[in-house]
């Protein structure tokens, strides 16, 4: 697979599985933090930070959903890469539907932005990336941290009074994010990219055990951390919304579909219908990326057409205590 090694683009450089055939995800490299403090190294300011995303990528999608729920669209600008990732890695194709140019520097490839931040960079060139236009560098490329920064550092620039990491629920939010990461968010990748039957079966078993668990929790609890909408729900949403169209078929996570789980399916529809969220879901980019970019899994690169999913259909979550913050009830 492709990555930068000492600033050079290499197409032969990394293995996606370890010796046991299990999918191995690389640690992220840029871990600075935007703060709500004008004296901070990276102070939260409107118009200063730029987000590089792919609409296909669930990790990038978390940051887009958080930005939308908070109403940070005017404060943080976005560039969208081409969903089809080939030998050159993420690329800008402004002529394609839903894609944009690199609005900061006019780069052709995302790797140029990594090299602008660190000419000797070694690592994968991933989305999302939070870029600081003032210091001309990458602040952070870890979605969980970008989501937290948008949620906690940018309140002054948000057009909606929404807190996704509310006091009193913070431990529950952190616990839920941790609990879903390995079996669910990363679990679908561990199933899809497994190099052995055993590694695949382990991942699928853990994945569906975890989905079964949350199906039970959501029977009488509105959201993952309790009665309030939180970052944990954003993290869960981006995997669930891709599940039936991509993970079920392309990654062989086919024990059940999300539509077969009444509580998860209704929960997914509720989240999809929150203001601003539907606009972040680009199913055409999602399906094209997965089915066409992984030639080892799908050598003919044929994109599966189904299923038809009605995320706009009514849901039953209002039967439970709690609900979205007032600012999201329009
Ligand atoms: N830990 C990162 C993971 C991001 C990630 O793996 N993004 C994928 C797209 S879904 C990517 O850009 N992959 C490019 C590559 O691996 O070369 C995060 O959560 O932000």
Residue 136 domain boundaries: 3-157
Q: In what order do the strands lie in the sheet with 77-80?
A: 77-80, 49-53, 129-132, 137-140
Look at residue 135 in the predicted model and tell me its pLDDT: 97
Identify whether residues 214 and 256 lie together within a single domain. yes
pLDDT given at position 15:
63
From 104, 122, 157, the end of a domain falls on 157
Q: In this structure, which residue's CA is closest to atom 11 in ligand 1?
A: 126
Give the Å distances, CA to CA, from 106 to 7, 79, 103, 132, 161.
19, 10, 6, 15, 34
- Tell me the best of 84, 88, 127 to mutate to test the pocket of ligand 1, counting ligand atoms within 8 Å of each CB and taking the most: 127
Report pLDDT digits (tens) over 113-143: 999 999 999 999 999 999 999 999 999 999 9
The predicted pLDDT at position 42 comes to 98
Distance 182 CA to ligand 1 centre (A): 15
- Looking at the structure of the chain, the number of domains it has is 2
* CA 216 / ligand 1 centre spacing (Å): 30
Nearest-CA residue for atom 13 of ligand 1: 126
Distance 206 CA to ligand 1 centre (A): 22
CA–centroid distance, residue 54 to ligand 1 (Å): 10
Residue 165 counted as domain residue: no
Q: What is the three-class DSSP state of 3?
A: strand
Both 75 and 144 in one domain: the answer is: yes
- Same-domain check for residues 266 and 296: yes
Mean pLDDT in runs of 10 for the chain (330 residues)? 92 75 78 97 98 98 98 98 95 97 98 97 96 98 98 98 97 98 98 98 98 98 98 98 98 98 98 98 97 93 94 98 94
**Whether 128 contacts 238, CB under 8 Å:** no
Quick check: helix, strand or coil at residue 244? helix
Q: Give the list of residues 6+ apart from residue 22 with CB closer than 8 angstroms, or none.
A: 190, 194, 195, 199, 202, 203
Instruction: Enumerate the active-site residues.
Output: 57, 189
CA 174 and chain centroid, separation: 16
Phi, psi of 5 (to 5 degrees): -130, 115
**Residue 273 sits in the same domain as residue 316:** yes
307 preceded by cis ω (within 30°)? yes
Question: Can you give the pLDDT at residue 301?
Answer: 95
Same domain flag for 175 and 316 = yes
pLDDT at 14: 64
- In this structure, the answer to whether residues 53 and 92 fall within a common structural domain is yes
Task: Please check whether residue 163 lies inside any domain of the structure.
Answer: no
Are 152 and 219 contained in the same domain? no
Q: Atom 14 in ligand 1: which residue has the minimum CA distance? A: 126
Phi, psi of 280 (to 5 degrees): -90, -5
124, 176: one domain? no
Residues with CB under 6 A from ligand 1: 2, 28, 57, 59, 124-128, 141-143
Whether residue 245 is found in the same domain as residue 322: yes
């Amino acid at each position: 697979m492709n990555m930068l090694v000492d600033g050079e683009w290499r197409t032969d450089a990394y293995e996606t599985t370890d010796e046991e055939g299990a999918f191995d995800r690389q640690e992220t490299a840029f871990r600075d933090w935007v703060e709500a403090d004008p004296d901070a190294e990276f102070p939260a300011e409107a118009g200063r930070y730029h987000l590089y995303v792919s609409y296909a990528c669930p990790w990038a999608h978390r940051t887009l959903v958080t930005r939308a729920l908070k109403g940070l669209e005017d404060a943080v600008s976005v560039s969208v890469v081409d969903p089809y990732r080939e030998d050159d890695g993420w690329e800008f194709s402004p002529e394609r539907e839903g894609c944009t140019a690199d609005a900061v520097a006019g780069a052709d490839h995302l790797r140029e932005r990594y090299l602008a931040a660190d000419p000797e960079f070694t690592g994968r060139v991933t989305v999302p990336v939070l870029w600081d236009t003032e210091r001309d560098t990458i602040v952070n490329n870890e979605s969980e941290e970008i989501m937290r920064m948008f949620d906690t550092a940018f309140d002054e620039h948000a057009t909606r009074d929404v807190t996704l990491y509310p006091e009193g629920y913070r431990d529950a939010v952190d616990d839920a994010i941790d609990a879903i990461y390995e079996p669910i968010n990363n679990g679908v990748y561990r199933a899809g990219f497994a190099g052995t039957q055993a590694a695949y079966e382990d991942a699928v078993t853990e994945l569906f055990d975890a989905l079964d668990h949350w199906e039970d929790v959501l029977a009488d609890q509105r959201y993952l951390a309790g009665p309030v909408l939180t970052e944990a729900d954003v993290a869960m949403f981006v995997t669930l919304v891709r599940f039936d169209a991509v993970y079920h078929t392309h990654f062989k996570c086919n024990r059940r579909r999300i539509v077969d789980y009444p509580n998860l399916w209704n929960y997914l529809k509720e989240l999809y219908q929150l203001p601003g969220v539907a606009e972040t879901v680009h199913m055409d980019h999602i399906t094209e990326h997965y089915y066409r970019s992984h030639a080892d899994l799908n050598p003919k690169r044929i994109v599966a057409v189904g299923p038809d999913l009605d995320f706009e259909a009514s849901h039953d979550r209002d039967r439970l205590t709690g609900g979205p913050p007032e600012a999201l009830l329009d």
